[in-house]
Amino acid sequence: MKDHLIIFDTTLRDGEQSPGASMTREEKVRIARQLERLRVDVIEAGFPAASNGDFDAVKAVADTVRDSTVCALARAMEADVRRAGEALKGTDSARIHTFIATSPIHMEKKLRMSPEQVVEQAVKAVKWALQYTDDVEFSPEDAGRSDITFLCRVLEAVIDAGAKTLNIPDTVGYTMPEQFGQLIRTLRERIPNSDRVVFSVHCHNDLGLAVANSLSAVVNGVRQVECTVNGLGERAGNASLEEIVMAVRTRQDYFPCETRIDATHIVPTSKLVSGITGFPVQPNKAIVGANAFAHESGIHQDGVLKHRETYEIMRAEDVGWGTNKLLLGKHSGRNAFRSRLAELGIELESEEALNATFMRFKELADKKHDIFDEDLHALVSEDALTPHEHYKLLSLVAHSETGEDPYASIVIAEDGRESRAESSGSGPVDATFRAIEKILASGAELQLFSVNAITSGTDSQGEVTVRLQKSGRIVNGNGADIDIVVASAKAYLSALNKLHGSLDRAHPQV
């Protein structure tokens, strides 16, 4: 039998560190449920010491997930570890993941600690974590730039202290695949008690090598890979879960291990994460991109028609493409709607939220004949999951005519109080945003405006992502509608609602 490769998903923790990707508690629970359907082994739900909101989100995931291990991150500090342990009390399968930097530059410049102090603190952290669970993971941050002898010393000490998993991170995406594989092999050979733990890797994509480095490590004995859906993560992101899983599955002749992932849930999971975070998937992205299984070259088309495997090494349906079928229409009832949401992993908090979403579904069905699963995901936006909106779009009139200045007239409710404004602009969207700012004067800076069609056809809903920055905070807002201008207004207000809310975040390495 082949070894089991543990898939450790950190979309909810490291993925959330992408600027603007912060998620609400409800959104984290939705994604966690979908990761559970995907059969992810370990779900890293967050960093409980970062904020009260993150603590509540990790606790909510721990209270919900039953078929995957729920993990919380903690610096090698007693307060962090105890906060993580408290957040995980609701799960039967808990893991605490603690870390401390081991590279000379990090120890000297960031931690201001001696190597001896780092070893002592790492051991203490593992022992604190063992008071809450026997499943403890330790990471030497910036391992790729650490002295190999000191790294062996730290890792041997934490194994003796009781750590079950050793995660070797390429924190800054600096190493090359052959070099990283050699590092793993050397650690396994030089550490006397290395046979008592599972070796893991956590690779960043700064040089585009996160997946390559991870797979090189697997060949050299690693049996856990930390990754994220769509490769989401800070800076250039993390190793992509979908690419790791399908590489191992497709090349079983090469890899001495296999995962337990249900690959048919890969594409739905990708779409859910993309919709919630507001980070669109590029069309040529491996596995989950819209063009991943598209063939335009006549030679390729001819080959695929004659025999699929001439140009396709995977089947699109095996990773979830083609499963988002038409199911509901304008005559569908509330129970059918509720059942389909449940199948998609969407569970609304209250009957009131369900009713509001069902009404929006009916309104959409009057405008758009074919309702797809992607449309349902778009309907369940943050306004359906959050009981209170500070800003809400009531009405919008936008006008664009050749030879005339575009203008927009908008009515917004702010805590139930209506305000109206008009503005011209270089286009109807620009005019709409200017009208909103006339009312709210947010002072936020627009960093990104992106439009994507949710499904095919000219009657497709448009999904708009708006990224705003104010006072160092970056947030994404999403909006979907048949009318792109309306979707844009919704997205802008969604972002402003996040800026107004108390979604305080703290980087776990600060």
Q: Can you give the pLDDT at residue 229? A: 97
244 and 211 in contact (C-beta within 8 Å)?
yes
Domain boundaries, the chain: 3-277, 334-383, 388-500
**pLDDT confidence bin for 343, thresholds 50/70/90:** confident
Give the other-Cβ count within 10 Å of 51's Cβ. 17
pTM (predicted TM-score): 0.83
**pLDDT confidence bin for 207, thresholds 50/70/90:** very high
- Summarised one tens digit per residue, pLDDT across range 462-496 is 888 899 999 888 888 888 888 999 999 999 998 89
Report DSSP letters for 90-137, one per residue. Answer: T-SSEEEEEEEE-SHHIIIIII---HHHHHHHHHHHHHHHHTT-S-EE
Q: Please state which CATH number belongs to domain 388-500.
A: 3.30.160.270
Q: Helix, strand, or coil here: 167?
A: strand
Portion of the chain with pLDDT greater than 90, in percent: 61
Q: Can you give the pLDDT at residue 387? A: 43
Cα–Cα distance for residue pair 71/17, rounded to 1 Å? 16
* DSSP H stretches of helix in 220-350: 241-250, 266-277, 298-306, 334-343
**pLDDT confidence bin for 297, thresholds 50/70/90:** very low
Which of the listed ranges 255-264, 286-295, 358-367, 444-453 does the model predict with the highest average pLDDT? 255-264
Q: Can you give the pLDDT at residue 436? A: 97
Q: Can you give the pLDDT at residue 367? A: 77
Architecture of domain 3-277: Alpha-Beta Barrel (3.20)
- Summarised one tens digit per residue, pLDDT across range 123-164 is 999 999 999 999 999 999 988 788 999 999 999 999 999 999
